[in-house]
Structures are given as structure tokens and as C-alpha cells.
Amino acid sequence: MLVVVALGFGKSFYLRPAFGDTPLPTYLIVHGSTMTAWYLLFLAQALLVSSGRSDLHRRLGVAGVALATAVVATGAIVHLRLVPRRQALGEMASPADLAFAIDFVLQGLASLVPIVVLVALAVGLRRRPAVHKRLMFWTMVWTLGPAFTPERPLGRFLDALVAPHLPFFPADLLWLAALVAYDASTMRRIHPATWLGFALLAAWFLWVMPWIASNASFQAALKAYLGIAG
């Protein structure tokens, strides 16, 4: 997962000055730094458990809840500022561009909901380690989605491998395969949190997010918030 983060966001965030790109606004730097801390915390928590330091893992979990809150908050800010940022960059030249941006923002805001639900469930079920760690696994997988978009180097590379056979590279299937393999090797069965977590996230991505983005009420509310007429 850390390799995916490095490949997906290396050029646009971590190595941005080396590629001569324009500096990022402060809120994007804060969001990127928050997400980086989130990924590193996940690594630290996994290492603590594997080394037998479950006591420290639990204490650090308190910070994890606060960091998850920051992930959602900064993510919402990034999405809500997308339209004004594109307008300032001159990337909103037509009504079609605006419609696409509104759709993108609504889907992005909707994508934050599973993070809240998964983290809340993981905290509530922390005394059931098998369920807890799979819920956190799917939380991490969900936050990695932007690394695979066609705008990112990793996404462009992987999409080219499957085009024209698939509309996009099904990255989540890799994580599902990894977790299924882990379940099979350690439990000789597939844990319900493995397949159920994948199924619910897939349903949210394929049906709920598009529905929210196409809903006239949500579109009107977002335009009103952004001060856009019509």
C-alpha cells in the first residue's frame, strides 16, 4: 500500500518541486500531509501488533480516530474547493465542464461516508481483532482509490494494460485477492468481514455514489453552497 501511495502521488505531491510543477495551495498540502500520516499510522499499527505490542497499538488507536477525523475533514475541504480552483485555473470553459466537476465533487464527498462508517465500526468492534483489522484494511483500501485514477502515473500505466478490455484497472480486486489469500492461509476459510466489506464498498462505488452525483437535490445544494446559479 505504501508503494502504491508513492507511485500514485510521487509526481503530484511528494516530488512535485522536482518536476517543476506550480506550488500546491496550503489546503492541498495539509490534506496530503494528513493522508501521509494516515498511511504511516496504518503501517505502525500493523507492526506493533505483529511485534506483540498490542497495548501500545490500542493507545495509538486514540490518535488514529483523531487522524481519521482529519482525513475526512480535509478530504471534504479538497472536494468543496475543486470547482473554485478549476475556475481560477481557467479549466471551467463550458457548462459541460461545470457539470462534470459537480458530479466529481458529489461523488468525492460521498466517498468519505464509508471511511466514517468503517472506522466507527472498527473502533466499536476493536475487541474482536479478526473483524477489527479487516475493517481497517478495507478503510485503507478505500482511501487508496485516488492513486489509481487515470490522472495519476500509476493509473495511466495500469489502465493501459487492460484497455480496451476493461474501462478501468480493477485495483480493488488485488486487495481482495490478497485478503482472501491471507484468510485461506491462516483460517482455512474466508472471513465474513472480507467478502462483506468488499461487497458493500463495491455497491457503494457502483451504485450509491453515481446516484448521489446525479440527484438533482444534491446538485442544487452543492451549487447553492458554491454560489453557482442554475
Range of the domain at 204: 2-226
Is the pLDDT at 125 greater than 90, yes or no? yes
Using pLDDT thresholds of 50, 70 and 90, give the confidence band for residue 151: confident
144 with 118: CB under 8 angstroms?
no
Q: Counting Cβ atoms within 10 Å, is residue 91 exposed (0-12), middle (13-18) or buried (19+)?
A: exposed
Of 18, 2, 6, nearest to 154 by C-alpha is 6
pLDDT at residue number 150: 85
pLDDT bucket at 170, cuts 50 / 70 / 90:
confident
pLDDT at 230 over 70: no
Please tell me the total count of domains within the chain. 1
Q: Could you tell me the pLDDT band of residue 167, with boundaries at 50, 70 and 90? A: confident
Given pLDDT bands bounded at 50, 70 and 90, which one contains residue 127?
Answer: very high
Query: Has residue 132 got a pLDDT over 90?
Result: yes
Distance of CA 79 to the CA centre of its chain: 12
Average pLDDT over residues 80-93: 92
